[in-house]
């Protein structure tokens, strides 16, 4: 496993991260734009990339925009909107074939930068604001995406559990915003939001492929032209919240299957030296098919259709998701709490340890096979301020014993129990 190392620099307020390599036949380009999650900006910010992908100054029609990507030998272009800790992040991605594999007059890397730079900084404007038809259509797109969460009860319960647990924190907000705020967004107000976002976002640009930091720097200067920016780094001002009492929230909807979700807090985050132990904790508790939740709640007791856990290392939060028969609520809750106790007592077998290490090892070694995975892994460093290679993380995982996992378990506190249940029986 070759240890690929990103080289870092800064151009006009954009941090650049370049991994020169001949391993891949394409250039992977990723631009992250992060702003703090906030009630009044989350919805317009989420809408911005949807409108930006509709047209630019040179390619005002969406068909022209798409044809331009075809001209770049079918370059891929896409974006994601998500949250990491208390930040809302928009990630633009481009995937372009390496020049040496095609007969092209222009450098495809340069053409891709010209395209991405224009998407970001020269959107199509009409009378000084966004084209109304684009804003209206994309508002509808975002509304449908938010509605689809309500219709997918597994996702809905997961979101609601976080919302209840973090009701006084920005993290409660969904990265796509709030349906109620969409109506009031106009082409003009969205353009103002876009200007503020472009000025204030923390920008990190990644390139993996057969290039050099010097080449990327020149391309950024030429095609992005964002000189007046002062990029402040991500603030990971994490302070673990003390849990004073466990809250139980019950919500009724027309569901046949109950969704029992739990929110847990831990003081261990990505920047922490014990991060590997928290990964092991989550893996043994509910991260994989051999985990305690899966085996005990689902297989042995047949109490759940699914039972698993997730850990967000940027926020110090773990969540448990399970789908159960509504009448089995108390029984399922008891067995899940028993698994949390087993972890705290350090009742962890060698088999559980070894299987979890094997799963994490596979995930970490797969990162090296994908340019975008390598980018995502390095971006964790940017977000947390913690330098840690995949090799280092793997050796910390390998060195973890039952005592380490027990110590990590000692930092985990149950905060919120959320139960999505059926409508009341008519008497």
pLDDT in tens, 64-87: 999 999 988 889 999 999 999 999
pLDDT in tens, 201-220: 999 999 999 999 999 999 99
Same fold, 7-223 and 247-421: yes
The answer to whether residues 56 and 124 touch, using CB atoms and an 8 Å cutoff, is yes
Residue 354's pLDDT band, with cuts at 50, 70 and 90, is very high
Residue 13: which region, alpha, beta or left (left: phi > 0; alpha: psi -120 to 50)? Answer: left
Residue 105's pLDDT band, with cuts at 50, 70 and 90, is low
Query: What is the per-residue pLDDT for 262?
Result: 98
Query: What is the per-residue pLDDT for 104?
Result: 67
Asked whether the predicted pLDDT for residue 45 surpasses 80, the reply is: yes
Report the candidate in 288, 330, 336 with the shortest Cα–Cα distance to residue 311.
Answer: 288
Residue 413 CA to residue 241 CA, distance in Å, equals 10
Query: What is the per-residue pLDDT for 1?
Result: 38
Residue 425's pLDDT band, with cuts at 50, 70 and 90, is low
What residue ranges do the domains of the chain occupy? 7-223, 247-421
Report the candidate in 261, 288, 278 with the shortest Cα–Cα distance to residue 384.
Answer: 278
Residue 42's pLDDT band, with cuts at 50, 70 and 90, is very high
The answer to whether residues 55 and 123 touch, using CB atoms and an 8 Å cutoff, is yes
Query: What is the per-residue pLDDT for 19?
Result: 97
Residue 80 CA to residue 417 CA, distance in Å, equals 29
Average pLDDT, the chain: 93
Distance of CA 265 to the CA centre of its chain: 18
Query: What is the per-residue pLDDT for 235?
Result: 86
With a pLDDT cut of 70, the percent of the chain lying above it is: 97
pLDDT in tens, 291-301: 999 999 887 88
- Beta-carbon-side half-sphere exposure of residue 233 (alpha carbons within 13 Å): 13
Asked whether the predicted pLDDT for residue 427 surpasses 60, the reply is: no
Residue 217 CA to residue 203 CA, distance in Å, equals 14
The answer to whether residues 346 and 402 touch, using CB atoms and an 8 Å cutoff, is yes
Residue 267 CA to residue 242 CA, distance in Å, equals 9
The answer to whether residues 140 and 50 touch, using CB atoms and an 8 Å cutoff, is no
With a pLDDT cut of 90, the percent of the chain lying above it is: 86
CATH tag for 7-223 (out of 3.60.15.10, 3.40.30.10, 3.20.190.10, 3.30.830.10) = 3.30.830.10
Residue 74: which region, alpha, beta or left (left: phi > 0; alpha: psi -120 to 50)? Answer: left
Query: What is the per-residue pLDDT for 279?
Result: 98
Report the candidate in 302, 273, 307 with the shortest Cα–Cα distance to residue 290.
Answer: 307
Query: What is the per-residue pLDDT for 402?
Result: 98
Measured CA to CA in angstroms, residue 392 lies from 215, 233, 273, 355, 397 at distances of 30, 24, 11, 19, 9
Q: 247-421, what's its fold? A: Cytochrome Bc1 Complex; Chain A, domain 1 (3.30.830)
Query: What is the per-residue pLDDT for 233?
Result: 84
pLDDT in tens, 225-260: 877 676 678 987 778 888 989 999 999 999 999 999
Query: What is the per-residue pLDDT for 100?
Result: 72
The answer to whether residues 259 and 323 touch, using CB atoms and an 8 Å cutoff, is yes
């Amino acid at each position: 496993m070759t240890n690929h190392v990103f080289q870092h620099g800064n151009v006009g307020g954009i941090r650049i991260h370049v991994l020169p390599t001949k391993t891949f036949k394409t250039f992977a380009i990723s631009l992250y734009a992060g702003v703090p999650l906030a009630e009044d900006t989350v919805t317009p910010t989420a809408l911005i990339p949807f409108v930006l992908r509709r047209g630019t100054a040179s390619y005002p029609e969406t068909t022209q925009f798409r044809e331009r990507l075809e001209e770049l030998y079918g370059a891929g272009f896409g974006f994601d909107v998500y949250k990491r800790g208390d930040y809302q992040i928009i990630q633009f991605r481009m995937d372009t074939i390496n020049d040496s594999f095609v007969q092209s007059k222009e450098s495809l890397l340069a053409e891709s930068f010209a395209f991405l730079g224009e998407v970001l900084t020269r959107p199509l404007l009409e009378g000084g604001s966004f084209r109304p038809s684009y804003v209206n259509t994309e508002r509808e797109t975002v509304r449908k995406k938010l509605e689809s969460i309500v219709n997918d009860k597994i996702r809905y319960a997961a979101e609601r559990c976080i919302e209840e647990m973090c009701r006084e924190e920005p993290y409660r907000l969904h990265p796509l915003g709030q349906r109620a705020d969409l109506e009031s967004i106009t082409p003009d107000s969205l353009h103002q939001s876009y200007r503020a976002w472009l000025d204030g976002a923390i920008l990190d640009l990644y390139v993996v492929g057969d290039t050099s930091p010097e080449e990327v720097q020149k391309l950024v200067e030429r095609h992005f032209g964002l000189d007046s920016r002062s990029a402040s780094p991500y603030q990971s001002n994490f302070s673990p919240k003390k849990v004073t009492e466990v809250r139980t929230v019950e919500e009724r909807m027309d569901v046949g299957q109950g969704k029992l979700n739990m929110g847990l807090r831990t003081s261990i985050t990505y920047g922490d030296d014990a991060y590997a132990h928290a990964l092991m904790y989550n893996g043994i508790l509910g991260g994989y098919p051999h985990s305690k939740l899966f085996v005990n709640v689902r297989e042995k007791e047949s109490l759940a259709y699914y039972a698993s856990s997730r850990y967000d290392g940027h926020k110090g939060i773990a969540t448990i998701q399970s789908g159960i028969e509504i009448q089995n609520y108390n029984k399922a809750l008891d067995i899940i709490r028993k698994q949390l106790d087993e972890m705290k007592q350090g009742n962890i077998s060698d088999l559980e340890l070894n299987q979890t290490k094997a799963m994490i090892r596979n995930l970490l070694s797969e990162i090296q096979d994908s340019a975008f995975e390598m980018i995502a892994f390095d971006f964790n460093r940017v977000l947390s301020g913690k330098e840690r290679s995949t090799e280092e993380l793997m050796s910390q995982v390998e060195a973890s014993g039952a005592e380490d996992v027990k110590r990590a378990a000692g930092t985990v506190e149950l905060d919120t129990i959320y139960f999505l249940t059926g409508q009341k029986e008519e008497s």
